Amino acid sequence: MFSVKNNTFTATDLLAGARMVHYNLSTPELIENAVKNCEGYLSDKGAFCVYTGKYTGRSPKDRFIVDTPAVHDKISWSNNKPCTVETFSRLYNKIKAFCKNHRLYVSDNFVGADKAHQLQVKCINEFASQHLFLKNLFITPETVPQTPADFTLVCCPSVTANPKEDGVNSEAFIIINFDEKIVLIGGSRYCGEMKKSIFSVMNYILPQKGILSMHCSANVGTDGKTAIFFGLSGTGKTTLSADPNRKLIGDDEHGWSENGIFNIEGGCYAKCIRLHPENEPQIFGAIRYGTILENVVLAPVTRTPDYDDSKYTENTRAAYPLDYIPNALQPSIAGHPNAIIFLTADAFGVLPPISRLDSKQAMYHFLSGYTSKVAGTERGITEPQATFSIGFGEPFLPLSPLRYARLLEEKIKKHNTKVYLVNTGWTGGPFGVGSRMKLKFTRAMVTAALNGTLDNVKWQKDPLFQLEIPMECPDVPSDILAPMNTWKDKDAYKKQAQKLISLFHKNVQRFHGEIDDDIINAGPKLD
């Protein structure tokens, strides 16, 4: 049931009683404040390392959208949790009470490199280090904007909810109110909640203007040809887009308008577990003064990061400005994509390392958004588990998933964009038996797809997954291109493949009656 609001929710209201408000501090000033406030530690290279406590990743069960008459029929409630105006009001008032007599950090930033589709965001933070994160990830204006902000983002981790009284699930809360144009975050110090909340806001606004918002990375070659990389966390989205031979447009969030693609952010938020300078030199080099490191273990005396240590979490992160990547494109705007890469880390070990998709298969795999979790990453997981996330970013899609899928189909057809499915996961067997696909082979296959080399080779059809597989690729052993060839036990391969195929079929049934049968039939073949 909808409720009538009886409160005013504004940044001015929140800041009115603050003990001290720091506006638009520079990077050195924010680091000095963070050190003074004992928010973390400086690494040997000058990066500021913070520890986020209990929450070392996003908390989907604590994320809500305020259900009001204006948005009720627009929001896809199957993958978004509603909360009442009363719940929002109670938590807003808790934050307002906290803001009195506390130090706050405030700035006006932008998201969206294309100025025609920018969103001005007023950022209010309890911690200087979190404000530096936003300075790195959003777009800092050259001069202070004189216009009112389009949206306000408020993050006060020290403010916690009472689940029973406040109508939420835990002490943490992430609430988007589209009517009041404000995001409230409390209880969690994980910085990713801030950036993904504003990404969700853009995912609400842009498609209603005919612009496809995408959870993808992007780069462009010297020939001007653009590529985008869709993928869930851990599939290689950031790693593969950080190519020294191509200019980086962005590593995570983009829009596709009538003019081409544009980065929604102004920085990168890279996973850095097991980071090595040989495999990911650009990311490694970006971790320096001004970068925020999350939950990375530092040596107690030398303050040298140990990227192999997962003591706090596997989800260690580095947040840095886009220009910390030497070949980043500025401004981060490019033409319509010539190629789209769907990335999956298949722990079942049965998907080909690269395959090409027709338009119907592209729709099928976009709606599937498949990757897999592996044994040991979460308590209770003893064998690979399939994960399906529409658009490779379902938690961040407020509108109907089909709206994003149809926009993608429309743009692929209009711009004749090629689509590939790339498996960065296992080969020669499932997780625990086979081995992870070598990064150098994946890079070689992606390069061949983007430079047109794969246009000139022979292809064969995989009878189970109905995918076209190249029979050869430069700098890649031909015997790994067809996954069954890498398994010693062919019957075991077929049994494992059918297990995954049945999961694909079960997942796609949720769209039965909403999409054409030829899209459903474009998927893997179930015996």
Among all residues, which ones are annotated catalytic? 58, 196, 215, 233, 237-238, 252, 317
On the 0-12 / 13-18 / 19+ scale of CB atoms within 10 A, 153 is buried
Interaxial angle between packed helices 490-508 and 359-368, expressed in degrees from 0 to 180 and rounded to the nearest 10: 80
Question: In angstroms, rounded to a whole number, what is the distance separating the alpha carbons of residues 508 and 513?
Answer: 11
| Cβ-based neighbours of 152, under 8 Å, separated by 6 or more | 10, 11, 121, 122, 124, 181, 182, 183
Q: CB count, 10 Å around CB of 313?
A: 17
Question: In angstroms, rounded to a whole number, what is the distance separating the alpha carbons of residues 158 and 432?
Answer: 41
Judge contact between 230 and 214, C-beta under 8 A.
yes
In Å, the largest CA–CA distance within the chain is 69
Handedness of CA 443, 447, 449, 453 (dihedral sign): negative
Strand-strand pairing, 63-66 and 173-177 = parallel
Question: In angstroms, rounded to a whole number, what is the distance separating the alpha carbons of residues 425 and 105?
Answer: 42
Q: What is the DSSP string of 184-247?
A: EEES---THHHHHHHHHHHHHHTGGGT-EEEEEEEEE-TTS-EEEEE--TTSSHHHHH--TTSE
Judge contact between 9 and 149, C-beta under 8 A.
no
Distances (CA, A) of 291 to 271, 317, 331, 438: 13, 10, 20, 28
Judge contact between 511 and 520, C-beta under 8 A.
yes
Strand-strand pairing, 260-263 and 292-294 = unpaired
Q: In terms of residues, how long is the chain?
A: 527
